[in-house]
Amino acid sequence: MIDTRASELVPFQMEHVQELIRSRGPCLTVTLPPFHPGEPAKSRAAVLKTMIQEAARRLENGKVLPSVGAALLAPLDQMADQEATFAGSQLGQVIFRAPELFEQFALIEPPTQSLSLASHFQIRPFLLELNCPREFYLLELSAKQAALCRGNRLQLTRCEWPKGVPETLEAAMAFRQPDHDLMNRSTAGSSLGAMKGVRFTTSADRETHQAHLADFYRILDRAVSEITRGRTAPLILSGVDEDTSLFRSVSSYPNLCRTTISGSPGIQTSKDDLKAQCYAILRSESLQSAGESLAQSREVMAPARFSTDSDTILNAAFDGRVSRLYINQDASWLGFARTSQRLLGSEDLYNVAVIETLRDGGAAFSLPAEYMLGQTSMAGILRY
């Protein structure tokens, strides 16, 4: 019996794709947006029931045998009857159903409601999520308190610093005997009444403070490397610009994100909001990195191994010759591929190109139009 429970979904990741792309059609892909109790929108169960009705209509129009269609939709009918299963989920959900497969995953990127019935599962809409790092670190910087958190697709957890690593600048300096208290005095003038003197800080004092702070951040940088143990997960900085810039200038971390979360750490920011800001940075930098890779490839690749012709790239993908594939996220190309089941109607041929590229170990990216070369719809790096 197929398990239709959706209460403990794992995030959708690239490691799940190979099983999906091996499936024979008809392939049903359903995406459900997040739902919060009390919202005016329909519950997920109600949305799913509507989609099941639409899927049944399409199966009938596609001349799919009634017994095949009923068997395909049966697990979804069971899910739709379990209203409590969908209660109050803050994550989107994608459901994949084929005659020999039923899988469901959580989506970090909130999806729009959608239904696809085709010869292949829809993978293209999830490329940004699939290419996003599965883990990252967040370093909250402040002289008064430094904290490191490890994030994955579902949670943000605070890390323990290694033994002996100070969490504050004061603790870092505690083992030193200060030569002075970094304060100077000036004789008070008559206008200041009974005050004996006015304290002031010199530029040298500020430079000394910055030097101590830089030393503190070097200690933290080494501690982060020790905690990550050679992994290259992205590191996001959070703090006021002065702190994040200083840390960046002394850090040797190999995958330091270019964008920071500006502002004093922990000020009126919930963990969910903080995680959302982190993923916005990761998504942005993932897109930027892919766009830069595409631009560089055009400059260095031989013409025979670089193409922007959609038919050429699709045929090369079927032959296992596409190493890296880039698709304009807004482009549309409906038709029939050599593997299409025509009774199900035309399908997204860009999605087919993605599937064939991934099937043979290539990489695929969905990019905004501004990252595509000359507003092209698709670009491919060919193996030969």
- 220 and 348 belong to one structural domain: no
| Residue 269 domain-assigned (yes or no) | yes
Model confidence at 268, pLDDT cuts 50, 70, 90, reads: low
pLDDT over 60 (residue 176): no
Contact in structure between 234 and 155 (CB atoms under 8 Å): no
Q: Residue 331 is part of which domain span?
A: 301-384
The per-residue pLDDT for 40 is 61
- 220 and 307 belong to one structural domain: no
pLDDT over 50 (residue 289): yes
Q: How far is it, in rounded angstroms, from Cα 153 to Cα 230?
A: 20
- 103 and 232 belong to one structural domain: no
| Residue 295 domain-assigned (yes or no) | no
| Residue 153 domain-assigned (yes or no) | yes
**Number of other CB atoms surrounding residue 150 within 10 Å:** 16
- CATH (domain of 247): 3.30.420
| Residue 130 domain-assigned (yes or no) | no
How is residue 244 written in tokens?
Answer: 């994040």
- 273 and 320 belong to one structural domain: no
- 281 and 316 belong to one structural domain: no
One-letter amino acid at 59 equals L
Of the residues 264, 288, 312, the one at which a domain ends: 288
- Compute the residue count for the chain: 384
- 181 and 111 belong to one structural domain: no
- 159 and 246 belong to one structural domain: yes
**Number of other CB atoms surrounding residue 230 within 10 Å:** 7
| Residue 294 domain-assigned (yes or no) | no
Minimum mean pLDDT range among 30-34, 121-125, 176-180, 330-334: 176-180
- CATH (domain of 353): 3.30.1330.30
**Number of other CB atoms surrounding residue 68 within 10 Å:** 12
Average pLDDT over residues 284-292: 95
| Residue 112 domain-assigned (yes or no) | yes
Each residue's pLDDT tens digit, 241-260: 999 999 999 999 999 999 99
Of the residues 122, 155, 181, the one at which a domain ends: 122
Model confidence at 38, pLDDT cuts 50, 70, 90, reads: low
- H-helix or E-strand containing 106? strand 101-107
Q: Where are the alpha helices (DSSP H) in the chain?
A: 17-21, 44-61, 66-80, 127-131, 169-173, 203-228, 241-250, 271-300, 310-318, 349-359
HEC per residue, 320-376 = CCEEEEEEECCCCCEECCCCCCHHHCCEEHHHHHHHHHHHCCCEEEEECHHHCHHHC
- 91 and 160 belong to one structural domain: no
- 141 and 280 belong to one structural domain: yes
Of the residues 92, 122, 152, the one at which a domain ends: 122
Model confidence at 177, pLDDT cuts 50, 70, 90, reads: very low
Q: What percent of the chain has pLDDT over 90?
A: 66
- 113 and 19 belong to one structural domain: yes
| Residue 160 domain-assigned (yes or no) | yes
269 vs 104: which has the higher pLDDT? 104
Q: For residue 303, say if its preceding peptide bond is cis, omega within 30 degrees of 0.
A: no
The per-residue pLDDT for 89 is 64
- Helix, coil or strand: residue 180: coil
Each residue's pLDDT tens digit, 312-365: 999 999 999 999 999 999 999 999 999 888 888 899 999 999 999 999 999 999
Q: How far is it, in rounded angstroms, from Cα 45 to Cα 76?
A: 10
Q: What angle do CA 8, 112, 369 make, to 5 degrees?
A: 120
**Number of other CB atoms surrounding residue 81 within 10 Å:** 12
pLDDT over 60 (residue 181): no
- 324 and 369 belong to one structural domain: yes
Each residue's pLDDT tens digit, 57-74: 999 988 888 999 999 999
One-letter amino acid at 7 equals S
Best CA proximity match to 104, nearest among 35, 3, 185, 219: 3
pLDDT over 80 (residue 90): no
Average pLDDT over residues 362-379: 93
Each residue's pLDDT tens digit, 120-160: 999 999 999 999 998 999 999 999 999 999 998 778 999 99
- 170 and 275 belong to one structural domain: yes
| Residue 48 domain-assigned (yes or no) | yes
Model confidence at 236, pLDDT cuts 50, 70, 90, reads: very high
The total of structural domains in the chain comes to 3
